[in-house]
């Protein structure tokens, strides 16, 4: 059963060694991520599962490692050969920083269908014992004229729908997100969020952070059952 979930973004700049002079601008985001992970710990899960978007599907065990070398600095999360994509590497880095450990890591393709995402979420939540999900999901990259994908007026309401669903703990609203609109608004976290939807909703939900400091929407939320 799903005992708790945390939703965090996965920009490389979240890691201070890569942020450089921009580091202090993300202090509030880092603090919100830490608070969301505290909620996972407080739920006393028997398993913590990390889910994040990637180009290809993949499942990795607890010892899987990642590196941020492709983004400029070889900061490692875990030991051994780096195999985790960016989203899961940042997820492992957040857990390591909090003194927590995952039981498994799951990469879901960015273009996975809602049905595929829901099936994965249900499978992860239906495993033995109390399960906590750490969902790594970026918002839109088309929110401002300085965004990586430039401004698209459709992006803001799409992102607002995501944040509203997270604030309400509403799995049905997340499940209803349109993949085509997500692609047009360059919402990298759509598939991972729909895995969360497949795992179940929440009786208590809170959005701890929502901003677009570099033209990309970042949100942090915590859910408890």
User: pLDDT tens digits, the chain, 225 residues: what are they?
Assistant: 899 999 999 999 999 988 775 667 789 999 999 999 999 999 999 999 999 999 999 999 999 999 999 998 999 999 999 999 999 999 999 999 999 999 999 999 999 999 999 999 999 999 778 999 999 999 999 998 888 878 778 899 999 999 999 999 999 999 999 999 999 999 999 999 999 999 998 889 999 999 998 899 999 999 997
pLDDT score of 22: 62
Return the ∠ at Cα 94 (arms to 24 and 45), rounded to 5°.
140
pLDDT score of 225: 74
pLDDT score of 118: 98
Kindly state which CATH superfamily the domain 2-224 is placed in: LigB-like (3.40.830.10)
Q: Enter the pTM of the model.
A: 0.95
Q: Among candidates 179, 187, 177, 221, which has minimal Cα distance to 202?
A: 221
**C-alpha–C-alpha distance, residues 135 and 196, integer Å:** 7
| Cβ-contact 223, 5 below 8 angstroms | yes
- Residues pairing with 48 in the sheet: 132
Q: Where are the domains of the chain?
A: 2-224
| Cβ-contact 167, 207 below 8 angstroms | yes
**C-alpha–C-alpha distance, residues 145 and 150, integer Å:** 5
């Amino acid at each position: 059963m799903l005992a708790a979930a945390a939703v965090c973004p996965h920009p490389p700049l979240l890691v201070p060694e890569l942020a450089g002079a921009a580091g202090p601008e993300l202090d509030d985001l880092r603090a919100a991520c830490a608070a969301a992970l505290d909620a996972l710990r407080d739920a006393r899960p028997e398993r913590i599962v990390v889910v994040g978007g990637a180009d290809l599907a993949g499942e990795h065990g607890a010892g899987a490692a990642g590196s941020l070398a492709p983004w400029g600095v070889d900061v490692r999360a875990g030991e051994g050969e780096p195999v985790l994509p960016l989203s899961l590497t940042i997820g492992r880095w957040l857990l390591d920083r909090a003194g927590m450990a995952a039981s498994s890591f799951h990469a879901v393709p960015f273009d996975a269908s809602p049905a595929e995402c829901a099936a994965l979420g249900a499978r992860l939540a239906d495993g033995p014992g109390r399960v906590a999900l750490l969902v790594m999901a970026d918002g839109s990259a088309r929110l401002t004229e300085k965004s990586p994908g430039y401004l698209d007026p459709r992006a803001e309401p799409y992102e607002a729908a995501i944040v509203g669903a997270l604030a309400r703990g509403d799995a049905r609203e997340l499940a209803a997100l349109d993949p085509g609109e997500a692609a047009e608004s360059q919402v990298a976290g759509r598939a991972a969020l729909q895995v969360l939807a497949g795992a179940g909703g929440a009786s208590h939900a809170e959005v701890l952070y929502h901003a677009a400091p570099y033209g990309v929407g970042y949100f942090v939320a915590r859910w408890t059952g």
